[in-house]
Amino acid sequence: MASAYYFSLPSMYLGNLLNSYGSRLHYQTLSAAPTLPFSYPDAVISGNNVTLVYYATYGYGQAVRQNRSVPLDPNEWYLAAEKRITATRQHMMVVLQNTTRFLIRAVPHSSGTGLAPASRFMLDTAGRLDPASGVIERVSSVEECQCPRGYTGSSCETCEVGFYRKSSPRFPYGQCLPNS
C-alpha cells in the first residue's frame, strides 16, 4: 500500500492561530494525475494533544497549477483518532490556541518523479483597521470575549499576570488560579 507524504508548514503558521478560526489557509500546487485514495487526509493540524484531519472534496487532475484552500472550520475536520467523528468548535479552538503541527499532503509531480511543490501559502486572519493610524489590529473572527477574572486573550486562553495555569480534564486550557 502506498504512503502519503506531507509538507510541514513553517513556524509562522504555528502557535496561537485563534484569530484565524473560521478562515482558510490558501496555497498553490501543481496537481498531478489521480494518486492516492481519499483515505489519506489532505491536511493535518495538531495542538494541545489534539490532532484533526481534513479530507478535500477536490480531485487531482491534469498537471496544472491549482489554487487550493483548507477551511479552519470545525465542521470540515475530523478527530484523527476517530475518523468518523466531526470536530467540534472546542476541538478546533484547542488546536488553534497552540498549533504545534500543520501539514499539507504532497502530491506526486506530473513527471512521475518526486513531489509537486506547494507554494504561495497564505492564512486568512481577522483584523480591524484603525483608520487614524492605518494599522490593522488583529481580532477574533468569531467573537471578542469578555474574560472572567484571571483570564486574558482573544478567547480567554491565557492566564492574567498574578495567576497560574492548573491542568484540569474539565477545562481544555486548564484553569487560571490566583498565585498564593
Domain spans of the chain, in order of start: 6-127, 145-178
Q: Say if pTM beats, i.e. exceeds, 0.85.
A: no
Start-to-end CA distance of the chain, whole Å, equals: 57
Query: What is the structure's pLDDT at 51?
Result: 94
Dihedral Cα 146, 148, 154, 160, nearest 10 deg: 140
Cα angle 145, 73, 29 (rounded to 5 degrees) comes to 130
CA dist., res. 39 & res. 43, Å (int): 12
Query: What is the structure's pLDDT at 141?
Result: 47
pLDDT one digit per residue (tens) for the chain, 180 residues: 367 788 898 898 899 888 888 888 888 776 655 554 557 888 999 998 899 999 887 655 555 667 788 888 999 999 988 778 899 888 898 899 899 999 988 776 555 666 666 767 777 776 655 556 655 555 444 456 778 888 888 777 788 999 998 877 666 667 888 998
CA dist., res. 63 & res. 29, Å (int): 10
Q: What is the DSSP string of 119-178?
A: EEEEE---EEEETTTTEEEE--SS----PPTTEESTTS-EEPTTEEEE--TTSTT-EEEE
